[in-house]
Structure 1
Amino acid sequence: MFVQEILKFTGDIEGKDQVQVYPKVTGKLIEYKVQEGKPIEKQDVIALIDRDVTGFKFEPAPVEAPISGVVAKTYFDQGDSVSPQIPIAVVADMDEVKVKIEVTEVDYPKVKLGQMARIKVDAYPDKEFEGKLSKLSALVSPQTRTATAEITIPNPEHFLVPGMFARISLLAGKHKALVVPRDAILRLPGTGVY
């Protein structure tokens, strides 16, 4: 009989295209023009910044979305100081998400690009999502003895959200095995495994 070998992994859901948005100027946040969780188009204004230049009056500087997607996170409150070194928001394309996993060197030969994966998240315990292994590092880290792999998951209904914890079952192939029905195993009194 053939038995399917399944490799188990865990990871966090991320937007496939997930971008930190930085202002181009230093100043104070006047306001966000968007709300977390709401869709946004490329070049829509995310926020307005009041530039901090003593003695000069400028129009508020807009901060635009670099990609279309969903506003996944905003980091500041109105009146907070912002600068080009610190992101003010995250925009994620939610139509497709990804999970990064760490593959041990023992399992590395069993993992191939294009392999099917089943994904479960606590938010939807009765639902199973399907994905494919889309990236596999050609290097095993000498520190962790693992290689990073990435599973891409179609997400047209946006059920999966960045930050969700995922359990992944990767279908690693089939092999012959001797299988004995559970009913055929007898336990004798006084015996057992300790």
Structure 2
Amino acid sequence: MRLYVMVILVFTIGSCSESRYKILPTERALTESVYSSVTIQPDSLYQVYAIVAGILDENLVEEGDVVLKDDPLIQIINSATELNAQNAKFSLELAKENYNGSSAILNSINEEIIGAKLQYKNDSINFNRQKNLWEQKIGSKVDYDTKKLKFELTSNTLKLLQSKYDRTKRELETAVKQSENNYKTALITTKDFTVKSKINGKVYALYKESGEIVNTMEPLASIGHTSRFIINMLVDEVDIVRINLNQEVLVHLDAYSDKVFKGTVSKIYPKKDERNQTFKVEAVFENPPAILYPGLSGEANIIIARKDKVLTIPKAFLIDDGMVKTDAGVIPITIGLQNMEYVEVLSGITKDTHLYKPE
């Protein structure tokens, strides 16, 4: 009697256990997607750098301020640069004075030319008079040669002075132009000490305070679009080939735990991040949340494909990604779409085929 009861009990337990892990395929809507982490960032976000070194004199804006393109953001000071600008200005003023002033070098040479012209005119008259006398056999050869030599020397002196005047004028003109260029360069360098915004946007971060050292390698601020935000996603390298532009994205943000937001893939970056073996993908919201902040995080599913009615089985019943256990034993099947829980069955079994969960 006891043996009979034990056999019945074992049979009952075995039957319950077997039926608990036996199912039939079901038809359902199935969506396949690629998972990614999400970080929210303002559109056109960029970090502001100085192109000169110095000391931060003053932050001209505060975090959260809305700015326009070319609005001043940060003022930097550098005494050496200011002194260079002043010296360049002094050099320019001196060059202009030498070229145009009342005591200009050219005036001195011009006075010499005037004197040389008078001497040339006088020596020319004396030479021609002596020449006429000599042609009439009057006077001596020595007087003629003396007057001729003096005239020729005066003529050469006048030519040299005129050449000197022209050369000096060109040199002074060049000096003025060079001084003007140096002064302009110094002014431009001085203007570089006022850091300006490159876009219309909002100041999201300021990284330095007054009195701190500024160099060209460290960012001073972060500026981005005021209200337009980008969904930054990191996609694993095994999934990136399945991502295309304009695919639908379902976004879940930690800050909005009870809502799902829709977006669209807008950009795929072609370079892989070697540190985490992922690719960066951007998407834009269809209807963004009313309030967003840079750095909000969450997760997203990029929709790869969607079917309304397909034959599916739970993934837990799949063996080696292509086999299932049936009453006829382990048989192969062809699979299609799949998500985290279910997989589409294209062929190999029907909705009436009993499946057993593998051990």
Q: TM-score, normalised by structure 2?
A: 0.44
Structure 1 Cα separation of the partners of residues 223 and 290 of structure 2: 14
Are 1:27 and 1:50, in contact at CA under 8 Å, matched by a contact in 2?
yes
Structure 1 Cα separation of the partners of residues 288 and 201 of structure 2: 12
Structure 2 Cα separation of the partners of residues 9 and 95 of structure 1: 24
How far 1:65 moved relative to its partner?
Answer: 0.5
How far 1:137 moved relative to its partner?
Answer: 4.2
**Per the alignment, in what secondary structure is the counterpart of residue 53 of structure 1?**
helix
Identity %: 26
Q: Which moved more, 1:136-145 or 1:30-39?
A: 136-145
2:35 equivalent to 1:8 = yes
Q: Which is helix-richer, 1 or 2? A: 2
Q: Deviations over 1:131-190 (max 9, x none)?
A: 21112245667886544322233687762222111211222211423379xxxxxxxxxx
Are 1:97 and 1:155, in contact at CA under 8 Å, matched by a contact in 2?
no
Are 1:36 and 1:72, in contact at CA under 8 Å, matched by a contact in 2?
yes
2:250 equivalent to 1:118 = yes
- 5 Å-filtered alignment, 1:1-194, equals 1-53=28-80, 56=83, 61-138=193-270, 146-153=278-285, 159-175=291-307, 176-178=310-312
RMSD between superposed Cα atoms in Å: 3.3
Q: Deviations over 1:63-109 (max 9, x none)?
A: 11111111111110111111223221110114322233333344334
Q: TM-score, normalised by structure 1?
A: 0.76
Structure 1 Cα separation of the partners of residues 36 and 72 of structure 2: 39
Structure 2 Cα separation of the partners of residues 155 and 53 of structure 1: 53
Q: Which moved more, 1:135-144 or 1:109-118?
A: 135-144
**Per the alignment, in what secondary structure is the counterpart of residue 25 of structure 1?**
coil
Which letter does structure 2 place at the counterpart of 1:165?
Answer: S
Which letter does structure 1 place at the counterpart of 2:50?
Answer: P
**Per the alignment, in what secondary structure is the counterpart of residue 300 of structure 2?**
strand
Q: Which is strand-richer, 1 or 2? A: 1
Q: Which moved more, 1:152-161 or 1:58-67?
A: 152-161
Structure 1 Cα separation of the partners of residues 306 and 240 of structure 2: 16
Structure 2 Cα separation of the partners of residues 158 and 62 of structure 1: 35
Are 2:62 and 2:203, in contact at CA under 8 Å, matched by a contact in 1?
yes
Q: Name the count of aligned residue pairs.
A: 183
Structure 1 Cα separation of the partners of residues 72 and 277 of structure 2: 44
Structure 1 Cα separation of the partners of residues 52 and 79 of structure 2: 9
**Per the alignment, in what secondary structure is the counterpart of residue 123 of structure 1?**
helix
Give the unaligned 5+ runs of structure 1: 181-191
How far 1:22 moved relative to its partner?
Answer: 1.4
Structure 1 Cα separation of the partners of residues 259 and 65 of structure 2: 24
Are 1:41 and 1:67, in contact at CA under 8 Å, matched by a contact in 2?
yes
**Per the alignment, in what secondary structure is the counterpart of residue 255 of structure 2?**
coil
